[in-house]
Every structure is written in C-alpha cells, then in structure tokens.
Amino acid sequence: MKKSGELQNSPQAASKKVARQKVLLGLVGAFVVLLAVLPLFASGFWMRTLTLLFLLAAMAEGWNFIGGYTGYAAFGNVAFFGIGAYGTALSMLRLHFPFFLALLVGAAAAMLFAVLVGLPVLRLKGHYFAIATVALATGVGEVADFWTDFTGGAAGLTLPFFHPIQLSNYFFYYIAFVLVLFGLGLTYFIMKRKLGYSWLAIREDEDAAKMMGINTTWSKVVAFALSALMAGLAGGIYAYWNTFVLAEEVFKIEYTLQMILATVLGGPGTVFGPFIGAFIYYILITLLVFFLPVGQLHATILGLIIILVMVFTPQGVMDFLSGRKRLTLSALLENIRTHKV
Amino acid sequence: MNQEVIFETQGITKYFGGLAAVDNVDMKIHKGEILGLIGPNGAGKTTFVNTITGMLRPTRGRVIFKGQDITGWPAYRVGRLGIARTFQIVKPFLGMTVRENVAVGAMFGHKGKTRTTRQALEKADEVLEFVEMGHLRNHFADQLTLAYLKRLELAKALAMEPELLFLDEVMAGLNSREIEEAMEMIRKINASGVTLLIIEHVMKAIAGVTHRVFVLNFGTELAQGSPEEVLNDPRVIQAYLGEKFVERQRRMQQASPQQ
Ligand SMILES: Nc1ncnc2c1ncn2[C@@H]1O[C@H](COP(=O)(O)OP(=O)(O)OP(=O)(O)O)[C@@H](O)[C@H]1O
Ligand SMILES: [Mg+2]
C-alpha cells in the first residue's frame, strides 16, 4: 500500500496552500476597499472605464457558473446581456417602471430565457452545446433587430438620462461595483453548498454525478440561469448607462468572448478568477491596441487569445496565484502535454 | 439465508443496433446476499448494470426494487432510492479532493436529503476511514494510483448508504494482497447490512465471497447456483475458456486411471 509521502501534494503542501489563499484573500480585500473609495479621487474617465470593467467582471462571474464550474462551454451568454438590456429598456419605456424594477424585469427575462433554452440545449455536450449556444445568441440578436414594432429595430431604443446628471458617473460606478461584489458573494455562497458540489461533479464526470443522485438537468439549468442573471443585470445597467439600446450593439459576440476570456485568464472554476481576469483582460487589450496596429479588437483576435490561454494555462492565473503551480515555462508546457479540453 | 427478494429483473433486454447485449434476463437478488455476476468479456455484464441503474434505458423488460417498478427511472432517482454502483472504468472527480469526491455520495445519495454539506463531509471522513483511505483525504483524485482509484469508487458508492450495491470489477488490476483486502472489505460491507452484486473476473474472489453466482453469456443467462456448482459447471468453463480447454480436460480425465 502506498503511503501518502510518496504522492505529491502532501497535507503539508495543502496547509501551505491555505496560507497562500489567505494572503490572496487579503490582497483582493484590500483591492476591493481601494475600488470602493476610488471615486473620491478618480477622474470621470477612469470611473467610466472601471464601470465597463465591472460589468465585464460581473458577466464573467456569471459565465464562470456554467463554463468554469459546470464545465459547459457556453458561447452565447451575450444573449442574456442583450435580453437584460432590452428587458430593462422596454420596461422603463413601455411600462414606465422605475429603473431598479425594470432592471429586475430584464434580469428575470434573461433567466427565463436561460431556463427555456437550457432545458433542451443543456442535453448537448461539448462542441454541440457550444455551437447551439452561438446559434441561439445569434438568433435572438436577429429577432431583436427585426422585430421593429417591439424593439425599435434598427432605430434602437432611447432611454431617459439618469438624474441628477452630475451624479451619473458615481451611480453607475457603484451599482456595477455592487454587482461584482454580489457575484463574488453568490459564487462563494453556492460553492459551499450542495449546488456547488453538484456543478463540480458534473464538470468532472457527468455520468458518475448522475449515478450518485445528482439531478444533473436541474443543476445545469440553475447554473445557466444564474449566469443569465449576472449577464442580464449587467445588460440592464449598461442600457440605462448608455441611454441607448441597439441589437447590433448588445448582442455582439465579442461580449461573449470577452467574458470567456476574462474567466479563463483569471481562472475558471475559482471564486476570484473572473474578477481578477477582467482586470488582466483590460490590461492585455490596452497593451495589444497600443503595440499592435489593430485599432479595434475583433472577434477573431479574441478567439485566438482564448485558444492560446486555454492551451498554455487552462486554469488561468489562479493556478499560479493559489500555489497549485509555479509560473514557469515547464508548467506552461506541462499544461499542453496534459491537455484535457 | 433470508429469501426475501430485494431486487428483480424480468426479461430485461438491451439492444445496441441489431446486437442484443443483454437478452431477456430474469434475475432475483435476495436481501442480504452477495451475488456474483460472471461471464466472459463482452457477455453484457456492464450493460446489464447500466440498464438496471438508469444509465441506459432497457429495450424491454422490467426492473423491480423492493416491490417498486423502477424501469426507466433516471439514474439520479435510482441512486437516491438506495441503489449504488461503481464503474468498471473508474470515474473519479479528478479536480476534487478525495474527501469531496466521497462527500458527493453522502450529499446526494440515499440519505443525502437529510444532510447538510458539512455533515456530508463528516460522513465522507467516516467512509474514508472504513476503506482505509483517511490519510489521502486531502489529496486530489488525480494523484491516486489505480488501486486507490478503485477504492475511491467503492468509497463514493458507500457514502450513498445504499441498500443494494453493484460492484463492477473493483478488483481488476489489483495485486493478490490488494485482492485479499478488497474481499475482506466486501465481507465487512455485507455484514453491515448491504446487499451486493459483484461482477468479477477474479475467480478466487467469486469463490471466496459470494453466496450465489449468476452467469451471463452472449447477454443471456447461462447458469446460476452456488459458487461450487457454477464454477465447476462444464458449460461455464467452456464459455470462459473455450472448447479446446474442455476437450483437453475430458481427455485428461479419460486418461487417468478409473476408480
Ligand atoms: N454503448 C455501447 N454501444 C454499442 N455496443 C456496446 C455498448 N456498450 C457495450 N456494447 C457491446 O455490448 C456487449 C456487452 O458489453 P459489456 O461491456 O456489457 O460486457 P461485459 O460483460 O461487461 O464485458 P467485460 O467483462 O469485458 O467488462 C459487447 O459486445 C460490447 O461491445
Ligand atoms: Mg464490463
């Protein structure tokens, strides 16, 4: 019988890992406090940039539920963002709901869509699931574009400005920030519970999960619906902030790729990964736009980066931050060798 | 032995295209027994278990557990009802620790609804002590040897606290000492009140722990009875070892002096 010492990652290594996680938690905590007080001295430009980043982080946190924890490569989550945006805008314009109520309607619409679509689509696996989600997101975008009577079609929907206007930057900064914190809290909460365990079990082996008593359909649909909740809320906030909703804009596949990229850069299947990854993503594209003559980051380039990240470090930077691996060339190459994707 | 039937299949049949992998099998499992299920490679043993646990839908036939018809139930409901199984090709949750792997069984299995996550983790520790893997609880499953992966399969199933447990070749690939340990563990599990069906090619184990043996060949029942009867049945030997072996045995018997 083998003794534990012969295996790597002994319990001592595990306790070292716990210590490292505490440091990481402290750093993230300090960073969160910094972001909370930032508007006191940051310029409007920085606040708007960070607001956008927070919305991305929130969507990434949502994608993490289905893509990171449950292991289903959802490539259509922008649909939830778009539905959240339209749901919020239409509730404000047609029903004259106050913003927060409209936001909830938008998010609820996104979740409802996720449940209805998830029931059939989540039966598919791997590439088939990925393709089906792309197709659905594209389809919903087309409907929004052509259903002119309801959505305003190509003319878009124009929303009232936030009042008082001089507080607008602060309002959207903080609401997006709170959404990110909500996402972190929700992730942490779920992953301590049975639902979280069921997601991991499904990701690692769906047949074994089923046989062990997990209602996999239900678990997956909940994961999908919660990712829709996050993206739907982000979409609603974005709509009001932008005061304009256009199908071409809010159903852009780039948004899906951005949330995937933020998650995989930071660390799929980790609590802080998507949040950290959103920052890494922003730094990365700023550098790319600066150094490469691309002007704008198209879907192709984002897709290429996703492939590179998935190949070299499928666990994102969290792999290195959490102490599971050391950031060396050999660790990156090892990732290629043991590739599971 | 108690003759109460805990589990029964009636005419269970599973086709893959034109091939009947399992063909019209009637099997009764008595409460408290260890039933061995043997048969040559490809006989349909795994398919039989898949079909009666909800992993696959039977083409025909009925499955009855404790008087309840569970034919075609989804696997998760079968699991929650008190039936657990291991997989011949192990299915560990690689990205989770050994403890978490086992806790999943305690969380969602037979008594899962009555437990909190924390209680499930405590139950997992208990099961890991039982299978003597307590020292590995914080290891990730991807760091285990095959022998331990087989034992992890068993621990995950046990954590579900089943009344009926199907073991699909948990001893394949183990050395003889590990096989002895596994046999001892199976006896202990049975003594704790669990009814077992064990699929095994290791005949020493079948002879050593089972009360009764059921033989499948080409998806149909070939024989059933006590281990001695069945393991000495020429039809069974022939199915396993082929015509030539039986021929040779007959010739050897004829050559030996008559009493
Ligand atoms: N999913 C499947 N699709 C098609 N054919 C299958 C499938 N699973 C099993 N079979 C076929 O069904 C037959 C029975 O296979 P099964 O795995 O049940 O045998 P077994 O008795 O468990 O064999 P072993 O002792 O090698 O594990 C084989 O001919 C196999 O090739
Ligand atoms: Mg088999």
**B139 CB within 8 Å of a chain A CB:** yes
Residue A59 structural domain: 43-279
CB B200 within 8 A of CB B183: no
Choose from B49, B53, B93 for mutation: most chain A CBs within 10 A. Answer: B93
pLDDT at B244: 63
Mutate to test the pocket of ligand 1, among B41, B47, B53 (most ligand atoms within 8 A of CB): B47
Q: Is B139 within 8 Å of A269 when comparing Cβ atoms?
A: no
Q: What value, to the nearest 5°, has the Cα angle with vertex A217 and ends A187 and A314? A: 50
User: Do B96 and B201 belong to one domain?
Assistant: no
With a CB cutoff of 8 Å and minimum separation 6, the contacts of B71 are B58, B61, B62, B63, B64
Last residue within a domain, chosen from A232, A258, A279: A279
Residue B45 CA to ligand 2 centre (angstroms): 5
User: Do A175 and A143 belong to one domain?
Assistant: yes
What total of structural domains would you count in chain B?
A: 2
User: Do A64 and A166 belong to one domain?
Assistant: yes
Choose from A1, A195, A212 for mutation: most chain B CBs within 10 A. Answer: A212
User: Do A231 and A303 belong to one domain?
Assistant: no
The structure tokens listed for B48 are 């039989």
Q: Is A9 within 8 Å of B156 when comparing Cβ atoms?
A: no
User: Do B175 and B240 belong to one domain?
Assistant: yes
* Closest Cα in chain B to A202: B93
Q: Is residue B259 part of a domain?
A: no
pLDDT at A148: 79
Instruction: pLDDT band for A5, please (50, 70, 90 cuts).
Output: very low
pTM of the model: 0.89
Instruction: pLDDT band for A91, please (50, 70, 90 cuts).
Output: very high
With a CB cutoff of 8 Å and minimum separation 6, the contacts of B42 are none
Last residue within a domain, chosen from A279, A306, A323: A279
**B91 CB within 8 Å of a chain A CB:** yes
User: Do A150 and A213 belong to one domain?
Assistant: yes
User: Do A127 and A231 belong to one domain?
Assistant: yes
Last residue within a domain, chosen from B115, B130, B160: B160
Residue nearest to atom 17 of ligand 1 (CA): B46
Residue B138 structural domain: 90-160
Which residue type is seen at B128? L
Q: Is residue B113 part of a domain?
A: yes
User: Is A291 exposed, middle or buried (CB count within 10 Å of its CB: 0-12, 13-18, 19+)?
Assistant: exposed
Residue-wise pLDDT for A119-170, tens only, equals 999 999 878 888 899 899 888 888 888 887 777 777 788 888 888 888 888 9
User: Do B59 and B167 belong to one domain?
Assistant: yes
Residue-wise pLDDT for B65-79, tens only, equals 999 999 999 999 999
Residue B22 CA to ligand 1 centre (angstroms): 9
Q: Is the pLDDT assigned to residue A110 strictly greater than 80?
A: yes
pLDDT at A331: 64
User: Do A244 and A158 belong to one domain?
Assistant: yes
User: Do A317 and A226 belong to one domain?
Assistant: no
User: Do B122 and B97 belong to one domain?
Assistant: yes
Span B222-227, average pLDDT: 93
Question: B37 or A301: which carries more pLDDT confidence?
Answer: B37
Residue found under tokens 């607001």 = A51
Choose from B85, B133, B139, B178 for mutation: most chain A CBs within 10 A. Answer: B139
- Residue B40 CA: nearest ligand 1 atom is 25
User: Do A174 and A323 belong to one domain?
Assistant: no
d(CA A58, CA A176): 8
Structure ipTM: 0.90
**B234 CB within 8 Å of a chain A CB:** no
* Closest Cα in chain B to A208: B91
User: Do B167 and B243 belong to one domain?
Assistant: yes
User: Do B78 and B203 belong to one domain?
Assistant: yes
**Cβ < 6 Å from ligand 1: which residues?**
B 16, 21, 39, 41-47, 88
User: Do B170 and B128 belong to one domain?
Assistant: no
